[in-house]
Structure 1
Amino acid sequence: MALTDIKVKTAKPKEKPYKLADGGGMYLLINTNGSKYWRMKYRFAGKEKMLSIGVYPDVTLADAREKRSEARKILAAGGDPGVAKKEEKIAQQMSLKNTFEAIAREWHQSKADRWSLRYRDEIIDTFKKDIFPYIGKRPIAEIKPMELLEALRKMEKTWSSGENAQSPPALW
């Protein structure tokens, strides 16, 4: 029988961990300390596997069912939902490491030995002041060309206004 929000919410811990089934391989594991975990059993390549869906109440019953549905679609397409989840997690971590600021600093470091100390500082200061506040924390793959152009135009305005107007530093 399918679970209800009330049944999930009122499930109390017992002496041993136990499961409340929802169907389609998904269940709620209730531990002795009262913690509740959504899990899904499935078979892939002839082996039984278990997919961790999330922790209740952070992941609601409706959310868990949606994730179960996504996992079943992956299985139907011939994939392993556990592997897909790991790949997605790695992609998210890589995306966080590949922010515009991280890539720009790496580029700056690779060019630094060719530049004078003053010029090197000028370049990174320009990025810190005019570019990083706008797009620095964003994953590089998510930045649209027009957003980059807008940030560069802001940098150009900064350099061309004021009493010490000058051309922005050449970046290569």
Structure 2
Amino acid sequence: MNYRHLNRQKTLAFGTWPDVTLAEARAKRDGVRKQISQGIDPAETQRLDHLSALLEAENTFKAIAEEWVTKNEREGRAPVTLDKIRWLLNITYPTLGGRPINKISPQEVLLVLRKVEATGRISQVPPTVALGETSIY
């Protein structure tokens, strides 16, 4: 679809025919026309949505936790403390590792804490502190 925004012609594609039906393309076109009438550039909106999806995919619990462990190493935490943190995170990764950090629910954290409790090593590391610090970081 061709349109003008700030006196510049732009083109927005909705997809190819077998993937996008004519009815879907018309519905998308109507949505784009509404955005244009409100002064919003649909191509810019689409680009920002794509960037936010990429950023959310990169901000998984595992990526943030590894970054946090690296930060703690640079700050000079004791090797024993780092080993305890890594132990806890290794239990956590199968459940929460691939999840976006902002989509993790308290129920999922509780599930992980129950796994830690089941190992019988709960006294070695305060898991709520380590998980909480990772989430805050």
- TM value normalised by structure 2: 0.76
CA contact (8 A) 1:156 1:168 kept: no
Counterparts of 1:48-59 in structure 2, within 5 Å, are 48-59=9-20
Pairing 1:120–2:82 present: yes
Give 3-state SS (helix, strand or coil) of 2:125's partner: coil
Higher RCO (CA 8 Å, separation ≥ 6 residues): 2
Match of 2:105 in 1: 144
Moved runs in structure 1, 4+ residues, more than 6 A? none
Please say if residues 100 and 140 of structure 1, whose CA atoms lie closer than 8 Å, have aligned partners that are also in contact: yes
State the percentage of identical aligned residues.
36
Larger Rg: 1
Question: In proportion to residue count, which structure has more helix?
Answer: 2
1 or 2, which has the higher strand percentage? Answer: 1
1:56-67 equivalent positions in 2, closer than 5 A: 56-67=17-28
Residue equivalent to 2:125: 169
* Letter matched to residue 87 of structure 2: D
Partner of 2:72: helix, strand, or coil?
A: helix
The alignment's C-alpha RMSD in Å is 2.2
Asked whether the equivalents of residues 12 and 43 of structure 2 are also in contact (C-alpha less than 8 Å), the reply is yes
* Aligned equivalent of 1:76: 37
Taking a change above 3 Å as real, the CA distance of residues 124 and 56 of structure 1, as seen in their structure-2 partners, is farther
Structure 1 unmatched ranges of 5 or more: 1-39
Is contact 1:101-1:132 (8 Å) kept?
Answer: yes
Q: How many residues align?
A: 127
Once residues 68 and 84 of structure 1 are traced to their aligned partners in structure 2, the CA distance between those partners, rounded to angstroms, is 14
